Structure 1
């Protein structure tokens, strides 16, 4: 058993599900990571905006209290311990952001006058200079005795268009970006997407694997010689449908070819057996002295003729087998196409009884040289002309027309015979195939056209049937230019 046969195989469903799961996990991990960063950034920005709004509200309230009650000092001295009524408590009561920022009321120098967290662990009695010196309302800073990063929101307190102090709201970045519920929701969403994706690819993989399994099972049946296979036709996927449909067509075609091969083998056997039987009967009659004199000579001549036919058929078989295995060398020489084709026509006329066959030849307007094997070239046209004569029953017209393109030369042979039936046109180049019209009228093995096509391909060209009707058949030989 080869190493290839020993390789462990896995099902298509398992293969694609496992790889899709890996890809999905990597993709969802990246999405979750980027989503967490985006949520963190968005949350930070939203909370900063809210704190900025809160600072603006506190500043406006202090200004309004001062204007309505001139006796109340908006900015108390550092030794005064009375609170500004409701400034902190009200603000903390309506804010529900999941954080508890520190709110400072400071003078223009940054000295802390009041705060909502009197027990805040800060040794300094002033706001850091980086905050007070910044022209921006949102400032990032660090306390000297803390490694944490803080954000500060700074808003002016103005009385009579004069800045008398600031509202400073401070909170750590860790608290501003801290989330629990959002991350839980993100994890649940990612998990649901993963389960949905795995379920979808598992279902789709099974749906894809089923017709492939059916085709594989049908292939085993064909391998065992059973061509009567059944495959579903209700597949919606175009590619899978094409696979199933093509396989069914192939099985039907193989079944037809198997039947035809059996029939053709019987035909070849009959064709070879007929001259042998004739020769045996003729020689037996001579040996038994059934015939004498001139009749005996006629029997001998008939036996010689049958021997010649048998020799020709065996020669065709040998030639075909030799071409099939590329055992016959092809000798390329340069010829002028008009001249070589004219010589081929003339030679065929001399060796055939063509009194009732009209031959016409349309040359190229200018000489063209090609590289061909002269013997193979003549054999191709000898077969085509002989087939045309047989199709016309020896009466009609054969026309040969030369044409060209930038890369190739084309030689068309048209006759006025009875044509090839439509159902036989796809089979004429099959070895040993003989149509119904020739099977009982003309002796042969059915190798003429298959051998001619192989010869055409051996000189880098091709032979094809252009069309065939009840009144005409046209073959075309393509030869590449030099």
Structure 2
């Protein structure tokens, strides 16, 4: 109950992939565009300020030049043409209404064109007028910041006075139209980006949803699924294709499992039934004397075969759980394989199979478990003998795969493994169509051998198989 409640809680916290990505992308996009818009606004504001200050400097210079035309001697007139200021402002298309002052060298205002909203200045300080800075910022005057621009009225290298232009920072940085345009661009980019990620997410989401639905079908035991593999995205195609292949393999394995369960049950039931019948005949004295001894001998053989199958099952399960130790030691591979083949040939009752070993002139020393290697070799030899079913040839070739690996190719001239079965021969309990009706067993030989090879740091693979024969390759490392 507790686990179920936790699952329900977890399910409530989950959201769809479309919602997850679109919301997060939109939030990220808005934050990013807000930062970009803020920085861009600062740049626009500073650029506008610099441009308008440059215009104010030009205005001051123009007014100073025109004032020289009205000077008589060295005195600046105090009743000059006021239209001079207005015409200059109109000509330059100034932003706002800057205040223009004509100031003498002592800072007294001789003429002015000041709007009623601007600063009420009666005179300028000597320090401010004599400063070398042409542009100065006047901070927090009546709650506002202003910029002061001055240009000298000079005649024959003599400064007769100054033209002073004062304008508020608010007017100099007024860029409402640009801000509106920037705002529209940011909103448009956000909507376009959100729409793009929404459309792309929906396109990506559809095949993933189909795979999720197919996974539920597989979970329910239905392996006959339909998935559209016509997708352009490579990763999505790989996902869909791999899932279809997995479902197909699971369907095959489920069929094999049911078949093999029946096969294993039959294999174990047959000797038990034989033993029971034979012992019952002896016990009921249906047979006596030599015939009873023969029945007991057959019962003993069936018991040994039953023990062998049970032992194979136990060994396989134990090794699958990593419970069987692997003891490595240095051996000469050619000499060891020769001895293993000789021992196998002694118990084959004159089977007409020729086994040859091709090895380098100088034997190769490797570090491995000789007992486990012998188990692999005996499994391959027995499988080859069963496949050949008569006179044949087995060739074992030893060679160097590279500087770190030795390869042992095990080749027979049997009829080969059908192409449809080659991908399944290392599945536990699998037995081919031909073999399961002719040879008794559990189908654990090759899976067990592969596990042994991997436990020793190597591998066992089917190299090739055709009507001319089959080649298995054992790869083993030189060192531990």
User: TM above 0.5, one fold?
Assistant: yes
Q: CA deviation at 1:315?
A: 2.3
Q: Please give the residue correspondences for 1:316-465 in structure 2 after superposition, counting only pairs within 5 Å.
A: 316-353=312-349, 356-366=352-362, 368-404=364-400, 405-465=402-462
Match of residue 10, structure 1, among 4, 8, 15: 15
Q: Does structure 1 residue 129 correspond to structure 2 residue 127?
A: yes
Taking the aligned partners of 2:468 and 2:139, their CA distance within structure 1 comes to 106
Q: CA deviation at 1:396?
A: 2.3
Q: Does structure 1 residue 215 correspond to structure 2 residue 232?
A: no
Taking the aligned partners of 1:19 and 1:365, their CA distance within structure 2 comes to 68
1:28 touches 1:190 (CA, 8 Å); kept in 2?
yes
Change (3 A) 1:76 1:222: farther
Q: CA deviation at 1:206?
A: 3.8
Instruction: Spell out, residue by residue over 1:268-294, the C-alpha distance to the aligned partner (whole angstroms, 9 max, x if none).
Output: 233333334444555566678777776
Question: What is residue 42 of structure 1 aligned with on the other side?
Answer: 47
Instruction: Spell out, residue by residue over 1:81-104, the C-alpha distance to the aligned partner (whole angstroms, 9 max, x if none).
Output: 523253112123334443111122
Q: Does structure 1 residue 90 correspond to structure 2 residue 87?
A: yes
Taking the aligned partners of 1:62 and 1:83, their CA distance within structure 2 comes to 8
Q: CA deviation at 1:427?
A: 0.5
2:52 touches 2:95 (CA, 8 Å); kept in 1?
no
2:75 touches 2:160 (CA, 8 Å); kept in 1?
no
Q: CA deviation at 1:227?
A: 1.4
Question: What is residue 479 of structure 1 aligned with on the other side?
Answer: 476
Mean CA deviation greater in 94-103 or 282-291: 282-291
Taking the aligned partners of 2:455 and 2:139, their CA distance within structure 1 comes to 92
Instruction: Spell out, residue by residue over 1:211-263, the C-alpha distance to the aligned partner (whole angstroms, 9 max, x if none).
Output: 33332222222111111223333444332332222222211211111111112
Instruction: Spell out, residue by residue over 1:106-148, the C-alpha distance to the aligned partner (whole angstroms, 9 max, x if none).
Output: 34565433221286644443465345431x6x42143897775
Change (3 A) 1:129 1:159: same
Question: What is residue 54 of structure 1 aligned with on the other side?
Answer: 59
Q: Does structure 1 residue 30 correspond to structure 2 residue 35?
A: yes
2:275 touches 2:303 (CA, 8 Å); kept in 1?
yes
Taking the aligned partners of 2:197 and 2:159, their CA distance within structure 1 comes to 66
SS of 1:419 mapped into structure 2: coil
1:131 touches 1:152 (CA, 8 Å); kept in 2?
no
Question: What is residue 69 of structure 1 aligned with on the other side?
Answer: none
SS of 1:443 mapped into structure 2: coil
Q: CA deviation at 1:431?
A: 1.2
Question: What is residue 179 of structure 1 aligned with on the other side?
Answer: 175
What's the TM-score once normalised by structure 2's chain length?
0.86
SS of 1:436 mapped into structure 2: coil
Mean CA deviation greater in 240-249 or 121-130: 121-130
Taking the aligned partners of 1:231 and 1:315, their CA distance within structure 2 comes to 44
2:82 touches 2:113 (CA, 8 Å); kept in 1?
no
1:150 touches 1:172 (CA, 8 Å); kept in 2?
yes
Taking the aligned partners of 1:301 and 1:144, their CA distance within structure 2 comes to 118
Instruction: Spell out, residue by residue over 1:41-70, the C-alpha distance to the aligned partner (whole angstroms, 9 max, x if none).
Output: 01101111222333343344445xx3xxxx
1:110 touches 1:129 (CA, 8 Å); kept in 2?
no
2:368 touches 2:456 (CA, 8 Å); kept in 1?
yes
1:364 touches 1:403 (CA, 8 Å); kept in 2?
yes
> Gapped runs of 5+ residues in structure 2?
none
> Gapped runs of 5+ residues in structure 1?
67-71
Taking the aligned partners of 2:392 and 2:87, their CA distance within structure 1 comes to 116
Match of residue 236, structure 2, among 240, 249, 272: 240
Match of residue 231, structure 1, among 223, 227, 231: 227
1:152 touches 1:171 (CA, 8 Å); kept in 2?
yes
Q: Please give the residue correspondences for 1:149-164 in structure 2 after superposition, counting only pairs within 5 Å.
A: 149-157=145-153, 164=160
Instruction: Spell out, residue by residue over 1:416-449, the C-alpha distance to the aligned partner (whole angstroms, 9 max, x if none).
Output: 2221122111111111111123122222221111
Change (3 A) 1:144 1:174: closer
Taking the aligned partners of 1:189 and 1:75, their CA distance within structure 2 comes to 58
Match of residue 466, structure 2, among 450, 465, 469: 469
SS of 1:351 mapped into structure 2: coil
Q: Does structure 1 residue 314 correspond to structure 2 residue 319?
A: no
SS of 1:328 mapped into structure 2: coil
Taking the aligned partners of 1:215 and 1:143, their CA distance within structure 2 comes to 67
Change (3 A) 1:123 1:104: closer
